[in-house]
Structure 1
């Protein structure tokens, strides 16, 4: 019998064995959703040439996308913690479908921003609700479940340079509309997942109350969340520097073409997806705090030497950085969810939404900095951001 058949068939498994079929379908949808988002920074070199946009405008596009996503994710999470809406998942992806279809034909900077907002709305709905489904399907392997879910998203982002080289460079801006097919596929799968999700609402943990022993806002939880915010800031700003602007650095310093420069971004993002997948199981065994701390601290020396390396060595190092840096992505979500187990959507929206928001602010700030002091100087400054991860040592222990 299919594991998706009935809630009764799953009742004995919800607290023990992961429901892998749901997690795999969810990861595929996350891949498709984040592929749509990845189209936008992938189009930056195309838009710079076709519409004459400057780095500040490109940063503003990324800012709008990520701010819409980040600001709405906690709102969606808070609301659906009280009143879960399973079919909100396909509805949100339908907005993204409209956005990506229009993006290929947008004639101006302002219309691009309009369709980017729609994609941002779709993403804001998907992420907290998708994380809740992963929690329900996790059994006793929450780190692994979040890794399966999050690796889909990171793989979707990793496809951006591939799309640039093989779709957007030959087809130009109109090539973006092709990805409406991916959005339609995601909508269809999400209707299927929403049906399973609806049958599992009985297994959601109760919202925390005032009784002793239940999750409450106390000093230790507030401290942990503040530190997580700071760590997400450091990781997201550095990731933004690499994914949005390192291609321009490679073109400038190594004399490569747009298509060739995308190999470096692809290496960073695809190994980041691998790191995301393995980070959860490693954290299940060795502790969430340890993975969070070492993911940034081990990245620091590689980030600092990256601007001084020749092309081949830079390629190797940037691939290793993606693997290490992103190993804590899903781990931070689980860490926050276990701080407040009755607020799964809220915590997911906070941490994942915060990652988008910090990336958004980083995109526009770095774009302005590049326009002001230069590309090389900005990349040198950004290389010290992972060192801020030292604050992870002050996080409360997992237990």
Structure 2
């Protein structure tokens, strides 16, 4: 047990080093603008190079990992992500920068499906263990500006090669875990193929809930700083505080979700969290004054409580395609919020920010409606006539 806890902590550290590169791309944007004078369209293209490629390629890596074991992909993908960001400031042309950022997104995409499988194995199907693994990614994303900004402030874009270091360190940490789990991975893979039928309807309902959650959270993270400034009448410091509350609440929710699920079960906790997100998000949108910070915290916690639970649910809905499940849940379904964010921005430009954020409230409602239809993998939903749930074999 102690050994597995040590391994999950190491995997969480590796996860942090990879997801740091997801948060690092937006942190590099101000330096691209300052040194190369990119316009809004050019900057949007740079960000989409990472988010879109990662979103759509990640499920493909999940499919590939289901067909053949690819443990070697973890350190390779981590190094690829770091190499892409490291090269982003070396060339002067827009094309080379775009290709470097796309390479970074490709590395991030390749990492998650196989790592989710490995984390599930190491955690021994523990919800708490998976929540710690997910927390590592949240921490890496939140630390990205802190890691990137001092380096580029001191050396400019030509200092981007130094940003390869976290990927190398994360790869070495992950290798120490992989070496001790070769036999266990093979046994788990054989067991997974005997696990039963894939439940595609359940998986699609879950994906719907995750997509709605992604749109709401990414929408908040993109605009909550400006929104809170407007609601409180404060300066940039109030917006930065709102982002800190949002990120901290997400970390708390991730850990809390695993502990609640260990006691009450994944599906009831996921349903309750989706329901709680509705008034919390509405409070962020409508409540004025300092009280808005309480609703930002509540929204972040509610949106992140089911985060790690969604990964294990997806894997159990598709027991014969756990790589695909992890790829879709952590990839396309999660990153779709980044695709929707420009639409919210356009609506805010056409109306006002508070009006655009109202869209997040019905989106949270839709996420709860999807979650209501979820059942624990291996069970059938109660029939309309009142027939009890039937366990699948």
Bin for the TM-score computed over the shorter chain:
0.7 to 0.9
Residues 272, 203 of structure 1: CA spacing in aligned structure 2 closer, same or farther, 3 A cutoff? Answer: same
Q: Which residue of 1 aligns with 2:235?
A: 256
Q: CA-to-partner distance for each residue in 1:294-352, whole Å, 9 max, x for gaps?
A: 22221111211213444532223212221121010010111111122232212111211
Q: Which residue of 1 aligns with 2:4?
A: 19
Q: Which residue of 2 aligns with 1:73?
A: 58
Q: Which residue of 2 aligns with 1:127?
A: 112
SS in 2 for 1:205: helix
Q: CA-to-partner distance for each residue in 1:342-375, whole Å, 9 max, x for gaps?
A: 3221211121112343123223333443444443
Q: Is the 8 A contact 1:143 1:280 kept in 2?
A: yes
Q: Is the 8 A contact 1:158 1:273 kept in 2?
A: no
Aligned Cα RMSD in Å?
Answer: 2.9
Q: Is the 8 A contact 2:202 2:375 kept in 1?
A: yes
2:168 to 180, 184, 196: 184
Q: Which residue of 2 aligns with 1:333?
A: 311
Q: Does 1:203 align with 2:181?
A: no
Q: Does 1:143 align with 2:127?
A: yes
Q: Does 1:299 align with 2:277?
A: yes
Q: Is the 8 A contact 1:101 1:179 kept in 2?
A: yes
Q: CA-to-partner distance for each residue in 1:96-120, whole Å, 9 max, x for gaps?
A: 1112212345646544432221111
Taking the aligned partners of 1:53 and 1:299, their CA distance within structure 2 comes to: 37
Q: Which residue of 1 aligns with 2:141?
A: 157
Unpaired runs of 5+ residues, structure 1, are: 1-12
Residues 193, 54 of structure 1: CA spacing in aligned structure 2 closer, same or farther, 3 A cutoff? Answer: same
**Larger mean Cα displacement after TM superposition, 50-59 or 27-36:** 50-59
Unpaired runs of 5+ residues, structure 2, are: 380-393
Shift of 1:53: 5.2
Q: Which residue of 2 aligns with 1:9?
A: none
Q: Is the 8 A contact 1:232 1:355 kept in 2?
A: yes
Residues 206, 356 of structure 1: CA spacing in aligned structure 2 closer, same or farther, 3 A cutoff? Answer: same
Q: CA-to-partner distance for each residue in 1:40-81, whole Å, 9 max, x for gaps?
A: 233455556665556665554443322222222222222222
For residues 190-339 of structure 1, the aligned pairs below 5 Å read 190-206=174-190, 214-217=195-198, 221-250=199-228, 254-257=233-236, 261-310=239-288, 312-339=290-317
Q: Does 1:118 align with 2:99?
A: no
Residues 157, 109 of structure 1: CA spacing in aligned structure 2 closer, same or farther, 3 A cutoff? Answer: same
Count of aligned positions? 376
Q: CA-to-partner distance for each residue in 1:109-139, whole Å, 9 max, x for gaps?
A: 5444322211111111211111111121122
Taking the aligned partners of 1:317 and 1:165, their CA distance within structure 2 comes to: 29
Q: Is the 8 A contact 1:208 1:216 kept in 2?
A: no
Q: Normalization by structure 2: what TM-score?
A: 0.84
Q: Normalization by structure 1: what TM-score?
A: 0.83
Q: Is the 8 A contact 1:300 1:383 kept in 2?
A: yes
Q: Is the 8 A contact 2:55 2:109 kept in 1?
A: yes
